[in-house]
Chain A
Amino acid sequence: MSDPLILLGPPRSFTSVISAMLGQHPQMYGLPEVHLFVADTVGELFFYYKIAGPRRSHGLLRTIAEVYMKTQNKKTVDLAKAWLIKNKNMPTAEVFHKIVSKVDPKIVVEKSVTTVWKPANLQRVARVLPNARFIHLTRHPRGQCESMMEALKTETGLTPQMQDHSTTPPTTDPQILWYNIHSNIVDFLKDVPKERYMRIRGEDVLQNPDKYLREISEWLGLRTDDEAIDEMKHPERSPFSKLGPPNAPFGNDPKFLKEPALRPARAKPQSLEGILSWRDDIPGFTDEVKEMAKSFGYE
């Protein structure tokens, strides 16, 4: 079986669109967010859904419906859920391997945001997929944080990791999450052989998709012809790039599901200096954030 490709990045870092783009390569298969690496067993996964909300289950339900029953509708999603409930003791690793084998020989592309939330989840990936390859996807902290603040206007899910607890009450400040998650990823990749991961700025991929999609395909040993690259520029063609059936509509960033097409104009030049639009009680990004962003090539 082909070894999967795992995208690692904070939320709102172009992971959804780039994962869908990669998944459109004729030799790859892009999944929605299956969140399988937050737990060891399906039973524990259901417990996680209880805490994090049922929306976290949508990606896995849609995946099972699509790869096993070739269609996503209310009935196939119900069947997928019934199968998971019946197999509560099954390791999540086995579920993932079943999906991988079902789409074989295509390479599975996965990008669940929960994977990078904690080092324990990343370590679980390393155990389950010892030969997986990784793309560390970055986004300028200003763009990522502003996008997070925009998302928080309409979505729930504010966690303590997005807040500065030095103030009373805590102040929402997504730069903390940006730094925390990238630290997790950087630390994790220190133990991964260099030939098995690459670090890319999401803005570069969106602004110059031909160049970077070709580079990634070449790194993976896949076709790099124009037909393959052109197909990758249509993330909207993925069966997961739209709302799903009413009992599992999501499985990905709702904003992406609403507008899944490639939009290079999203990536605007930004600066690490200057005030922050989401809080005015500090002068700007912290030194730690700026230093890490500079190491990723941002200014």
Chain B
Amino acid sequence: MSNDSTPAMVPPLPMDRDDFRCISKAGFGDGWNHYAHCMAWFEGHLYVGTSRAILAMIKVNDPPPALTHWPINSPDDVYDIDRRAHIWRYNPRDETWKQVFISPMVKGRTEEIVARDIGYRGIAVYQGPRDCKPCLYICTWSSSKGQPPVIMRSEDGLTFESLPRPSWGEFVNTFRTLVPFKGCLFTTPTGSTAGYGKAQECVGGAPIIYVCKDPMSGDWLEASLPGFGDTNNLTTFEMHAFNGHLYAGTINAEEGFQIWKTAANGEPPYDWKEVVTHGAYRGNLNEIAVSMCELNGALYIGSGIVNGGYHRIAKVGPAAGEIIRLYPDDSWELIIGNPRLTPDGLKFPLGHMGPGFDNFFNGYIWRMFVHEGTMYVGTFKWTVLMPFIPLDKWPDPAQLLVEIRGVDELVSNNAGFDLWRTTDGIHWGPITRTGFENMYNWGVRTMASTPYGLFIGTANPFGPEVAEKTEDGWQYQYNPRGGAEVWLGVPRKK
């Protein structure tokens, strides 16, 4: 029986563009902080780890993207840049930022003194058996000349210690996922290097998942077979706890990503079951399972292709990312993407949009996060590179768009990441399709749901100086909107 005097429970409304405001820009005042690469809410503060000089690093890598002019002013030797990654802390009560950590300089594998950490790609709050309370655990990213990456730990968010790393090989230079599950911490290498200019930030070379109950002990064990027994699985890229299982997604340039799950019973290595194969039957255009997120009892999985939508070495793509959702019974549905006939039935996109939210340039569905019952999905979009791309080398969809809209119009109205929201996976609304009106924000790299709202960290590698077209040709100029940004979304009263 209804009681009119009882206030109705009003669910929070999904946020729109006007609910978001920028709380940090230009790479925390240093344009070489290109990515706000990871975020965590810990003891009343937001922690943000940065990654440095991404476009400078890509410039010296082999093979570099075929650009007619390099978009930022960066030296020929990336080590001429201060590459020490930062950790910043935000206090939402007085709206202040504090730098709480900067990478030390260490002797690298070439005996040169280099930054130990050039980025922090992953972060988790976890309590091991010797932790008196939940602590911060952070994945580091090391340079080609540096030592393999370590795991950092902090009890108070101010002091950070490095812990023994898993026994992965010397070629591993980065990892990005730390997932607490059943009282253990799981991780897997996601990047490797064969020397200067020969780094692959998404291909780990040792596709093994490691598990550890007590990270302080360094006693990491192998939790899976290499590549789950499939040599085409180059890397285990993303993991997520869901439905009493740990789910893991691979990079597979031959056949498309695979999704595996385990209940992690018994001793490692555990029994794993393959639940999605062949990139959900799109093949290698769904090369990577990039992102995962649970909403309403289903696991959403966003896809992509290495290097932002075009895997140059493997010659995969270009193409935009898709979203599927997976149920506990291992059935799945296509949410955003291209229709197809599969052994699991006819699939067409229930969200009624093609890959990349109907945008060819959205190369990754990069991050997904639920805040107050709404899922927010951010992309990586490479439209901002269009002025630097020799278009005759690109496929028909890109050329057709340029013919219709022109490069200038495309960049001004389409550059910058997409951020979408949904409460059911079927109905979607765009929050921004232009990186919060900053074309240099080419990706949503990290998010954190907190009592103070939804924080979003951007990938923005267009600082400190960006190429601007002038009457005298391309010239590098200071870019006040270059470098990672942090945005805060708080629902207004409606």
Residue of B nearest to A282 (CB): B341
Least CB distance from B413 to A in Å reads 10
Does B10 make an interface contact (CB < 8 A)? no
- Interface contact A163-B338, CB-CB below 8 Å: yes
**CA of A163 to CA of B285, assembled, Å:** 15
Name the A residues within 8 Å of B354 (CB-CB).
160
- Of A164, A173, A180, A288, the contact of B345 (CB 8 Å cutoff): A288
Q: Is A105 in the interface zone, CB < 8 Å from B?
A: no
**Taking the complex as formed, is B339 at the interface, i.e. its CB lies under 8 A from any CB of chain A?**
yes
Q: Establish whether residues A160 and B341, one from each chain, have CB atoms under 8 Å apart when the complex forms.
A: no
A165 touches B340 (CB 8 A): yes
Q: Is the beta-carbon distance between A289 and B352 smaller than 8 angstroms?
A: no
Q: In the complex, which residues of chain A have a beta carbon less than 8 angstroms from the beta carbon of B405?
A: 50
Pair A160/B339 contact, Cβ less than 8 Å: yes
Distance between Cα atoms of A286 and B341 in the complex (Å): 8
Total chain B interface residues with beta-carbon distance under 8 A: 17
| A166 near B404: Cβ-Cβ < 8 Å | no
Q: A165-B282, A288-B346, A289-B346 are in contact. Are A119 and B352 (CB under 8 A)?
A: yes
Q: Residues of B contacting A184 with CB < 8 Å?
A: 352
For window 8-42 of chain A, which residues contact chain B by CB distance below 8 Å?
none
Residues of B contacting A183 with CB < 8 Å? 348
Task: Please report the C-alpha to C-alpha distance between residue A180 and residue B342 in the assembled complex, in whole angstroms.
Answer: 15
Is the C-beta of A128 less than 8 angstroms from some C-beta in chain B? no
A142 to B345, CA, bound (A): 19
Using a CB-CB cutoff of 8 Å, which residues 317-339 of chain B contact chain A?
Answer: 337-339
Give the secondary structure class of A's interface.
helix
B310 within 8 A of A: no
| B-contacting residues, A80-138, CB 8 Å | 118-120
Nearest B residue to A51 via CB reads B404
> Which residue of the partner chain A has the closest CB to B334?
A165
Say whether A264 faces chain B, with CB atoms less than 8 Å apart: no
* A179 x B340 contact (CB < 8 A): no
A176 interfacial by beta-carbon distance below 8 Å: yes
Contact indicator A165/B339 (Cβ below 8 Å): yes
A172 to B341, CA, bound (A): 11
The interface residues of chain B, by DSSP majority, are classed as: mixed
Within 8 A of A (CB), among B445-469: none
- What's the minimum C-beta distance from A169 to chain B, rounded to whole angstroms? 10
In this complex, what residue of B is CB-closest to A292?
B346
CB distance from A298 to the nearest CB of B (A): 17
Q: Which residues of B contact A161 (CB under 8 A)?
A: 339, 348
Instruction: Answer whether residue A170 sits at the interface, using C-beta atoms and an 8 A cutoff.
Output: yes
Interface residue? B281 (CB, 8 A):
yes
What residue of chain A has the Cβ atom nearest to residue B338's Cβ? A165
Is A163's CB under 8 angstroms from B341's CB?
no
| Interface residues in B341-366 (C-beta closer than 8 Å to A) | 341-342, 345-346, 348, 352, 354
A residues in contact with B285, CB < 8 Å: 165
The answer to whether A168 has its CB under 8 Å from any CB of chain B is: yes
Determine whether B92 belongs to the interface, using a CB cutoff of 8 Å to chain A.
Answer: no
Q: Mark B382-408, 1 if CB is under 8 A from A, else 0.
A: 000000000000000000000011000
Interface 1/0s, chain A 132-158, versus B by CB < 8 A?
000000000000000000000000000
> Is there an interface contact between A176 and B339, defined as CB atoms closer than 8 Å?
yes
New A-B contacts (16) at CB < 8 Å, excluding given A163-B339, A166-B281, A170-B338: A51-B404, A119-B352, A120-B352, A160-B338, A164-B339, A164-B340, A165-B338, A166-B340, A166-B341, A166-B342, A176-B346, A180-B339, A180-B348, A184-B352, A282-B341, A288-B346
A–B pairs, 10, beta carbons within 8 Å: A160-B354, A164-B339, A165-B340, A166-B282, A176-B341, A179-B346, A179-B348, A282-B341, A287-B346, A288-B345
B: residues with CB less than 8 A from A are: 281-283, 285, 337-342, 345-346, 348, 352, 354, 404-405
A-B interface, 8 closest residue pairs, ranked by CB to CB distance from nearest = A165-B338, A166-B340, A165-B340, A166-B281, A288-B346, A286-B346, A180-B348, A176-B339
